[in-house]
A = this chain, B = another copy of it.
Amino acid sequence: MKKITINDVARHAGVSKKTISRVLNQEPNVSSETRKKVEKSFTELGYRPNPQARALASSQSYLIGLLYPSQSNSYVSNIQKGALERCRAEGFHLVIYPEDHENESLISQFESNLNSSNLDGIILTPPFADMRKLLDLLKEREIPVVRVGAISALDSIPSVISNDAEASYEMCRYLISIGHHKIAFIKGHLDHGATEQRLSGYTKALKEAGIPILDQFIQQGNFSFESGEDCARRLLSLKVPPSAIFASNDYMAAGIVKVAKQKGISIPHDLTVTGFDNAPASRYIWPSLTTIKQPITEMAIEATRMLIRIIRKKPLEKLSTTIRNELIVRESSAPAKT
């Protein structure tokens, strides 16, 4: 099949290249008559405009980059889902860049990626959304950016965030309301801003309820299953163990469930375990986890929508959007034994 170019169509329709281009880009000032004629030629010839040529001439690539941590989990797949939904609707394509955020040469590597792709815009997920150097690079390059789940409220860069601190607070309120006051908390990876946020909700709720905050009840995890196991072993061998453990993500919660079961501790009868994120695993394990559902997909949809507006140079309604988390009560939580 021979390639059809804009010149072929112009000849076939008996108009100039530029008019074809006008129809292609839905520009005004084309009589409906010629428009019809041109569109007819499109279908008759099976014309497909060359994206690269348009990109060169218009300096737009219709590519959006998504940067996320490479220790990929369900968070990422939900982000991708949301971003893609918008991209597709708007004629953009999504190019993915998983990166190790602890990699020393991250910036320079990412820069060379940038050089070879000419993205129209970039979506940043945690912890990249808070990396100053990265933001500076992108600013210097004048590449539009939207940040998802960022912590630092940056003056000028648009972002979509969720209310992690509040959700964490709500979870603790729930645990307290069903009679728990020996509540332990497992922190996440220190590089993630969410870690701090989630902890703050915990301390706030306990303080408010007049429950003392005990050092030994706050353990440092790193969002991995294994770190959950480790923390659980420590917590469950305390002289006075907690009656509820709130892990700041579901993988760590799953680790806790495993260790508890191995020790013959019944969940939720003897111990309540809750997580954060509503990862798929939170449904697959037994008992299924009480957790916080993060509207990740929705956040990505909104972020992408904003990004495309910026790319199109349309004004943004607001610089920052918050999307609310939601408590999901399942089987792993029950009233404290009296």
**Contact B286 A258, beta carbon cutoff 8 Å:** yes
Interface centre among A52, A80, A98, A257 (most CB of B within 10 A): A52
28 A-B contacts, Cβ less than 8 Å apart?
A48-B115, A49-B115, A50-B56, A51-B118, A52-B55, A52-B56, A52-B118, A56-B56, A72-B81, A73-B77, A76-B77, A80-B98, A81-B98, A88-B113, A94-B96, A225-B284, A254-B284, A254-B285, A255-B284, A257-B286, A258-B284, A258-B286, A258-B288, A281-B281, A281-B284, A281-B285, A284-B284, A285-B285
- Give the shortest distance, in Å, between A81 (CB) and chain B (any CB): 7
Contacts of A51 on B, CB cut-off 8 Å?
61, 115-118
Interface residues of A in 71-118 (CB under 8 A from B): 72-73, 76-77, 80-81, 84, 88, 91, 93-96, 98, 113, 115-118
A309 interface residue (CB < 8 Å to B): no
Interface residues of A in 47-64 (CB under 8 A from B): 48-53, 55-56, 59, 61-63
**Contact B81 A93, beta carbon cutoff 8 Å:** no
**Chain A interface residue bracket vs B:** 35 or more
- Give the shortest distance, in Å, between A79 (CB) and chain B (any CB): 11
A140 interface residue (CB < 8 Å to B): yes
**Chain A contacts to B: CB under 8 angstroms:** 1, 48-53, 55-56, 59, 61-63, 70, 72-73, 76-77, 80-81, 84, 88, 91, 93-96, 98, 113, 115-118, 140, 225, 251, 254-255, 257-258, 261-262, 280-281, 283-286, 288
- Give the shortest distance, in Å, between A326 (CB) and chain B (any CB): 21
For the complex, what is the distance from the CA of A88 to the CA of B100, rounded to whole Å? 14
Q: Which of B61, B81, B140, B258 contacts A52 (CB 8 A)?
A: B61
A48-B115, A50-B118, A286-B258 as given contacts; A81 in contact with B91, CB under 8 Å? no
- Give the shortest distance, in Å, between A245 (CB) and chain B (any CB): 15
Q: Which of B77, B116, B254, B285 contacts A62 (CB 8 A)?
A: B116
Given contacts A76-B77, A261-B286, A285-B285, 16 further A-B contacts (CB under 8 A): A51-B61, A51-B118, A52-B59, A62-B117, A72-B80, A72-B81, A77-B77, A93-B113, A93-B117, A254-B285, A258-B284, A262-B286, A280-B281, A281-B281, A281-B284, A281-B285
